[in-house]
Amino acid sequence: MSFLIRPLSAEDLDRVPALAAASEGPRWIRSDYEGILLAEPFDPLQRCGLVALSDGNLSGFALASWLRQETAAELEGVFVDRAYRRQGIGAALVGACMAWAANAGATIVRLEVRTSNAPALALYQRYGFSTVGFRRAYYSVPVEDAVLLEAPVPL
């Protein structure tokens, strides 16, 4: 199956929050995603929203951010609809976020992930992420630790 990765657009603003809610994504509301579209290019906090489309259907999305005075960008989340997993969509979204971070000016990317999320940990390791710490009881429902990961951005 083929898919397309593109920037978040206004037409995605109803579908992305629904996918996030179904896949433990950030509990943002529509206006949070609108803020990504309305940001000014010189705002201190830069955000990237990317979506994956498979046969016209929203199959995944990713969010990243970078605070200009920091060296590290943050991969805030990568979410793939269960029906579209194991098709390379998550990897493509991670790669696109890493490229965005490099173009923005970051030198490393950081993220956190549930300790039990073995598929995500394996994906991030393929992109050069390594463990730099843990946050105890970071997640709720269920309560779980987070693994802190970081990787250099591609040059």
Are the beta carbons of 114 and 136 closer than 8 angstroms? Answer: no
Q: Which of 8, 58, 61 is nearest to 34 (CA)?
A: 8
Mind telling me the catalytic residues? 112, 124
Q: How far apart are CA 12 and CA 9, in angstroms?
A: 5
Q: Which of 17, 148, 7 is nearest to 79 (CA)?
A: 17
3-state secondary structure of 114: strand
Question: How do 144-152 and 130-139 pair as beta strands?
Answer: antiparallel
List the structure tokens of 72: 């590290």
Dihedral sign for Cα 13, 18, 19, 20, please.
Answer: positive
Are the beta carbons of 131 and 147 closer than 8 angstroms? Answer: yes
